[in-house]
Amino acid sequence: MWIADGWKDYEVIDTSHGEKLERWGDYLLVRPDPQVIWDTLRVHRGWKKRNAHYHRSSRGGGEWEFFDLPQQWAIHYRELTFQLKPFSFKHTGLFPEQAANWDWFGGLIAGAGRPVKVLNLFAYTGGATLAAAKAGAAVTHVDASKGMVTWARENARSSGLEDAPVRWIVDDCVKFVEREIRRGNHYDGIIMDPPSYGRGPKGEIWKIEDSVYHLVQLCASLLSEEPLFFLINSYTTGLAPSVLSYMMSLEIQKKYGGTVRAEELGLPVTQTGLVLPCGSSGRWERS
């Protein structure tokens, strides 16, 4: 398991009965987590002193209950700053477990000793984009949601990266990749964080089990002659880490050599010493 243990502004304090108690900077949130199937005593005072609580509905979805939480606030990871706000389906605009991947590919970029171009697909609010840019890469950030791209640009400004070489693209990721192939563009690193299900800006339907392998095939043809890395993230239940590694072994390692690994991502739990699993990642790097 790859554990994101470098945070100072974020922690999972405790987990119990389908929920996790988290500290996001100065604020405590309680949010549901399907991995938390155990029921332990909630001894930490934060369970009762929470600033907000997201309640899952038995009919699907849910809603926030606010006690004392600003509409927006910021937290930091190393030299990066992220703007947070609670929005639909329990999210805050950041997945802290991804810091384990930021550190990994950031080190590869910084140590490359040459210009590096990175493509970030399904790029959300830009955590990976900012980490790559901070390490010295020129990044193309692609997401189908205009609102998410706007949020990512706000995070870039907050992190002092507003002038970094980042292209901000609002587009369907598959169609963008197809156009980049026709243009003859290439990248030294590719990051993708595809959703289980989604729609593009023109209603294009994405189902990960039907579409992700084809996208990996397309992206393999976008890699440069000497690529550095390829990263696939997945939060889809039932898509095992080994599936991620098989796709990259077939489409990338077969051509470029290097090494492929896939593991769960995890966050340490302060109260119990456990590690909370948080999705999976597959990594390829040129050795």
Per-position pLDDT tens, the chain of length 287:
999 999 999 999 999 999 999 999 999 999 999 999 999 999 999 999 999 999 988 777 899 999 999 999 999 999 999 999 998 789 999 999 999 999 999 999 999 999 999 999 999 999 999 999 999 999 999 999 999 999 999 999 999 999 999 999 999 999 999 999 999 999 999 999 988 777 666 676 767 777 789 999 999 999 999 999 999 999 887 788 999 999 999 999 999 999 999 999 999 999 999 999 999 999 999 98
pLDDT of 239 reads 80
pLDDT of 206 reads 66
pLDDT of 200 reads 62
pLDDT of 204 reads 67
pLDDT of 196 reads 78
pLDDT of 89 reads 84
Domains along the chain?
A: 8-84 (2.60.40.1180), 97-285 (3.40.50.150)
3-state secondary structure string across the chain: CEECCCCCCEEEEEEECCEEEEEECCEEEEEECCCCCCCCCCCCHHHCCCCEEEEECCCCCEEEEECCCCCCEEEEECCEEEEECCCCCCCCCCCHHHHHHHHHHHHHHHCCCCCCEEEEECCCCCHHHHHHHHHCCEEEEEECCHHHHHHHHHHHHHCCCCCCCEEEEECCHHHHHHHHHHHCCCECEEEECCCCEEECCCCCEEEHHHHHHHHHHHHHCCECCCCCEEEEEECCCCCCHHHHHHHHHHHHHHHHCCEEEEEEEEEEECCCCCEEEEEEEEEEECC
pLDDT of 66 reads 96
pLDDT of 236 reads 83
